[in-house]
Chains A and B, each alone.
Chain A
């Protein structure tokens, strides 16, 4: 089974802190994604990466950055956390090629910024 693991289930951080959310997948997938989920807004794409050191902005990249130094790990960075970044963050991965289109999700990180 594909396993996507997010480093924390729950995080509480203070306004202005630099926050790192880590995601690791064990299936050698090329593509990795970060989404945030808010009530009534569904899943919104923050950033994604289709290869090591490659990144693409999603729909809501402002206030975030990402890092992909190794294929299995994709980090989301909140440079200076703000209260409006309180949310559920979901990491996903997907293989490359025409037959590997399903994305698999981690368990989510619920971040509260106070």
Chain B
């Protein structure tokens, strides 16, 4: 099945550092979504992007929808311990009968 290429696979950082992760696809998408999953829980939506070039922030998180519509990135500034978790990108070509396609996730560890 089709999947997105998400990198890095894992990150180990110090509290206060900035973090950047990205996703690329061979297909163009109408929507890019970023989710965070805490251990033992379901993913929770962080940011949704709908337009090529769009840059959206949610607190310390900033995400961009690539101009080519085939990529997206997520930045986290000034990381804190509760940022620990798995971050997933997801893309969608919106039409009836289609489903989200997910990256394999970036596991973030933050040491204080």
Chain A residues engaging chain B, CB cutoff 8 angstroms: 4, 31, 33, 35, 40-45, 48, 50, 56, 58-60, 90, 92, 94, 96, 98, 101-108, 110
Query: Which A residues touch B96, using CB under 8 A?
Result: 50, 96
Binds A, one of B13-21, B35-43, B77-85: B35-43
Give the interface of B toward A (CB within 8 A). Answer: 1-3, 6, 30-31, 33, 35, 40-45, 48, 50, 88, 90, 92, 94, 96-97, 99-105
CB < 8 Å A-B pair total: 65
- Interchain residue pairs with CB less than 8 A apart (10): A33-B100, A42-B102, A42-B104, A42-B105, A59-B1, A92-B42, A101-B33, A103-B33, A103-B90, A105-B42
Q: How far apart are A111's CB and chain B's nearest CB, in angstroms?
A: 14
- Assuming the A-B contacts A103-B33, A105-B44, A107-B42, are A42 and B100 also in contact, with contact meaning beta carbons closer than 8 angstroms in the complex? no
Asked if residues A108 and B41 are in contact (CB atoms below 8 Å), the reply is: yes
Residue in B1, B43, B99 whose beta carbon sits within 8 Å of that of A90 in the complex: B43
Q: Which among A40, A42, A90 has the greatest number of chain B C-beta atoms within 10 A?
A: A42
In addition to A56-B97, A90-B43, 13 A-B residue pairs with Cβ atoms within 8 Å of each other are A4-B42, A42-B3, A43-B102, A44-B1, A50-B97, A59-B1, A94-B100, A102-B33, A103-B33, A103-B90, A104-B45, A105-B43, A108-B42
Q: Give min CB distance, B97 to chain A, whole Å.
A: 5
Residue ID in chain A nearest B29 by CB atoms: A101
Q: Is A40 a contact of B104 with CB atoms below 8 Å?
A: yes
CB <8 Å contact, B99 and A102: no
Contact pick for B41, options A35, A94, A103, A107, CB 8 Å: A107
Please tell me if the beta carbons of A42 and B33 are within 8 angstroms of each other in the complex: no
The smallest beta-carbon distance between B106 and chain A, in angstroms, is 10
Flag if B1 contacts A101 (CB, 8 Å): no
Taking the closest CB of chain A, its distance from the CB of B28, in whole angstroms, is 15
The CA-CA distance from A92 to B50 in the complex, in Å, is 20
- The residue of chain A having its C-beta at the shortest distance from the C-beta of B89 within the complex is A42
